[in-house]
């Protein structure tokens, strides 16, 4: 049986994973690693994959290679019947091609395959016979060569595609509110923040939505907004020292705890050395919450923690410089947590330049597009806590519209905790994101 999500042990090799529980032995008791690797190569070679490295740890494998490993593990035990439940749900179309070729090779060697999927193009491409179910009952069964795409759909939904008429669109109602948006970018400069707010108030805006991520407090400008009787919605950074009507942002501590849980599950052994990189400064509440959340989950698990002694900016360049310094000082580092993905992406480059990609796992925070791409590709970038600007901005805008219409909103809103891993990275990746 091959399930939708893989069950591989990340720190075990390809060969050990597919032969888990049936490792060949010498003298009845001694595990024969040479024979195990030879058997794993034979299973892959018989099905057209002689070039895969059976010694590689599972965490280094791409999503498609991990799915091949799952199928190989099942074939190694079950030689006559193979059941697959949505095996490509977490793969892109291009990645699905490799498991398809492996499955066809299994079929050609006499293995009966039951392939369960909602992706009709996969079913029609692979199957010799198609069976459709609706509400748990079989509604039809026919040879795949006789099944064009509309036929399985009709069997599954109970009516033909031609009967699925869209409802006629109603005439668009007259607008009840016209909104003009003015954008000001202060670049984190306090003087420009103050100047921009004064300018917006002079233009008699109805409300301000502010994301001042580099500052902790803004008492003067916030007081000016309140005196002017304007609505203020804070997004991302919750500024202190003044009145605001609503705030929406990520729960840094809660999400970092989620990242910490992923670190513990992935590393899965005592004596691991986790290095933590900080952007600073010391009173940065966001960075401190992210650090403390991870520490709350890893402490007491046998994972050793090394906190980098210096602060570097939350940038890729800062991550490169910090990682280069720490690699020069420490011969053994097993994992790295950075307060931002930008730092982690820099650290990943420094680790690669040092030739230690296979040794060090990376965990970040923010859910930056480049980081999600690395996670989805199955690199040594393992996970990241999501801090979605799109989600936060949408909720912040909705709060402002409600307030301007005379409604009430919750004072503080924390977005749902999401930790991005290889299992959900493809789903969460937005190729159009500028973040």
CA distance 12 to 75: 19
Question: Which letter does DSSP use for residue 49 in this model?
Answer: -
What would the DSSP string read from start to end of 182-232? -----TT-HHHHHHHHHHHHHTT-SEEEE--TT-SB-HHHHHHHHHTT-EE
Q: Residue 230: what pLDDT?
A: 95
In the chain, domain spans? 14-127, 186-244, 252-389+419-428
Q: Residue 66: what pLDDT?
A: 78
Q: Residue 358: what pLDDT?
A: 93
Which residues are CB-contacts of 115 (< 8 A; sequence separation ≥ 6)? 84, 87, 103, 122, 123, 126, 127
CA distance 388 to 158: 39
SS3 category, 318: helix
Q: Which helix (H) or strand (E) holds 376?
A: helix 369-376
Topology agreement, domain 14-127 and domain 252-389+419-428:
yes
Assigned CATH topology for domain 252-389+419-428: Rossmann fold (3.40.50)
Assigned CATH topology for domain 14-127: Rossmann fold (3.40.50)
| Sign of the C-alpha dihedral computed for residues 149, 430, 322 and 290 taken in this order | negative
Q: Residue 168: what pLDDT?
A: 64
Among residues 225, 241, 386, the alpha carbon closest in space to that of 233 is found at: 225
Q: Residue 45: what pLDDT?
A: 80
Give the Å distances, CA to CA, from 110 to 105, 144, 185, 230: 9, 19, 65, 73
Q: Residue 52: what pLDDT?
A: 78
Averages of pLDDT over runs of 10 residues in the chain (435 residues) are 76 84 81 86 76 81 76 74 77 64 80 82 82 83 79 74 58 70 74 86 92 80 92 90 92 94 88 87 84 94 90 84 92 94 94 94 94 94 92 92 92 92 91 72
Which residues are CB-contacts of 163 (< 8 A; sequence separation ≥ 6)? none
Per-residue tokens: 418:
């999401």
Q: Residue 188: what pLDDT?
A: 63
What would the DSSP string read from start to end of 226-289? HHTT-EEEEESS--BSS--SEEEE--HHHHHHHHHHHHHHHH-STT-EEEEEE---TT-HHHHH
Task: Please identify which residue in the block is written with the tokens 């990189």.
Answer: 277
């Amino acid at each position: 049986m091959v399930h939708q999500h893989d069950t591989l042990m990340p720190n075990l090799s390809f060969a050990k994973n597919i032969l888990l529980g049936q490792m060949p032995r010498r003298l009845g008791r001694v595990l024969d690693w040479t024979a195990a690797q030879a058997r794993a190569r034979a299973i892959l070679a018989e099905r057209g994959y002689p070039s895969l490295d059976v010694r590689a740890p599972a965490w280094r494998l791409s999503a498609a290679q991990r799915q091949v490993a799952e199928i190989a593990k099942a074939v190694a035990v079950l030689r006559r019947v193979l059941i697959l439940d949505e095996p490509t749900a977490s793969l892109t179309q291009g990645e699905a091609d490799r498991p398809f070729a492996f499955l066809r090779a299994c079929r050609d060697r006499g293995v009966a395959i039951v392939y369960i999927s909602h992706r009709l193009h996969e079913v029609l491409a692979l199957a010799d016979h198609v069976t459709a179910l609706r509400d748990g009952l079989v509604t039809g069964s026919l040879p795949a060569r006789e099944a064009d795409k509309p036929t399985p759909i009709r069997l599954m939904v109970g009516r033909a595609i031609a009967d699925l008429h869209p409802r006629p669109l109603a005439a668009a109602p007259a607008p009840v509110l016209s909104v003009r948006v003015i954008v000001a970018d202060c670049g984190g400069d306090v003087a420009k923040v103050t100047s921009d707010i004064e300018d917006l108030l002079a233009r008699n805006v109805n409300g301000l939505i502010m994301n001042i991520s580099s500052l902790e407090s803004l008492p003067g400008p916030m007081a000016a907004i309140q005196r002017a009787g304007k609505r203020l919605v804070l997004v991302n950074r919750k500024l202190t020292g003044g009145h605001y009507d609503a705030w929406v942002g990520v729960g840094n501590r809660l999400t970092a705890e989620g990242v910490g849980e992923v670190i513990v599950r992935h590393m899965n052994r005592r004596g691991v050395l986790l290095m933590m990189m900080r952007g600073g400064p010391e009173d940065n509440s966001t960075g401190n919450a992210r650090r403390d959340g991870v520490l709350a989950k890893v402490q007491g698990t046998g994972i050793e923690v090394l906190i980098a002694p210096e602060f570097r900016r939350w940038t890729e360049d800062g991550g490169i410089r910090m990682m280069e310094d720490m690699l020069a000082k420490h011969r053994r580092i097993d994992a790295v947590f950075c307060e931002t993905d930008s730092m982690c992406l820099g650290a990943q480059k420094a680790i690669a330049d040092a030739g230690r990609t296979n040794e060090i796992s990376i965990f970040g925070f923010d859910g930056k597009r480049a980081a999600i791409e690395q996670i989805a590709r199955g690199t040594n970038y393992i996970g990241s806590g999501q801090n979605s600007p799109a989600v936060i901005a949408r909720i912040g805008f909705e709060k402002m519209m409600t307030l301007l219409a005379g409604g009430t909103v919750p004072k503080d809103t924390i977005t749902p905790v999401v930790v991005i891993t290889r299992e959900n990275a493809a789903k969460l990746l937005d190729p159009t994101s500028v973040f």
